[in-house]
Amino acid sequence: MDDTSVDWPDGEDELKNFLNHLNSISDDIKFTMVIEENNCIPFLDILLIRNKDGSIGHKVFRKKAHADNYLHAHSHHHPAPKMGVLQTLITRACRISYENHTEEEISYLKRTFANLGYNNKSIFKAIQKAKSRNNINKSNNPKTTNAYLPYIQGVTNKLAKILRKKNIKTLFKTLTTIKQRMKSVKDSQEQLQ
């Protein structure tokens, strides 16, 4: 069991008694709880907000220990994953944040990525792409083929540009993964027979 959201109608004292009961059942399993404060409670990556009218609002939530450690603009990665991180965070903001908190979250992301060396043009482009992503009808796009290439700075970008003109999408992958380099700990079927 991981995170669970509960609306408890019987008061805080009874809730604490119930928590104590749960924790007395087994020494191996312990439960913790977070109680609503100032009409807010964090749940997963969302801060749930109880509005005055009784409705529930929501926005992106970060723990105090969150350090905004995302890919730096000058790191040796293909530009697509760098922009993908920002686009994904903006998409998350648009999907999670209640309307009145979306721009607040996007402003936060602009500052964060500017501090990571991203220029305003790249940030603006990522924001526009993320916002328009849901408006694109993918059925109108011509069929594309994928090409998997290792990322080599200065070379792979040029190949991707040429392939894109032929409706071939370039996906970048490492030459070998750690998993491929590790020896299997399982015996093969032949050894078992």
Q: What digits encode the pLDDT tens for the residues 61-73?
A: 998 899 999 999 9
**What DSSP assignment string belongs to 172-193?**
E--SS-HHHHSPP-SPPHHHH-
Nearest CA among 74, 78, 47 for reference residue 148: 78
Residue at 178 is within a domain: yes
The per-residue pLDDT for 4 is 81
Residue 41, by phi and psi: left (phi above 0), alpha (psi -120 to 50) or beta?
beta
Residue at 161 is within a domain: yes
Residue at 102 is within a domain: no
* Predicted confidence (pLDDT) per residue in 133-156, tens digit: 754 433 344 566 778 777 777 888
The per-residue pLDDT for 96 is 84
Counting residues of the chain whose pLDDT is more than 70, the rounded percentage is 83
SS (H, E, C) 43-92: ECCEEEEECCCCCEEEEECCCCCCCCCCCCCCCCCCHHHHHHHHHHHHHH
Nearest CA among 133, 124, 167 for reference residue 147: 167
Residue at 67 is within a domain: no
Residue at 98 is within a domain: no
Residue at 39 is within a domain: no
Q: Which residues form the domain of 148?
A: 142-183
How does DSSP classify residue 97?
S
Residue at 159 is within a domain: yes
Q: What is the mean pLDDT, run by run of 10 residues, along the chain of 193 residues?
A: 80 92 92 90 89 88 91 91 90 84 91 95 88 53 69 81 84 69 62 56
Residue at 136 is within a domain: no
Write out the two tokens for 118: 């991203």
Please state the domain count of the chain.
Answer: 1
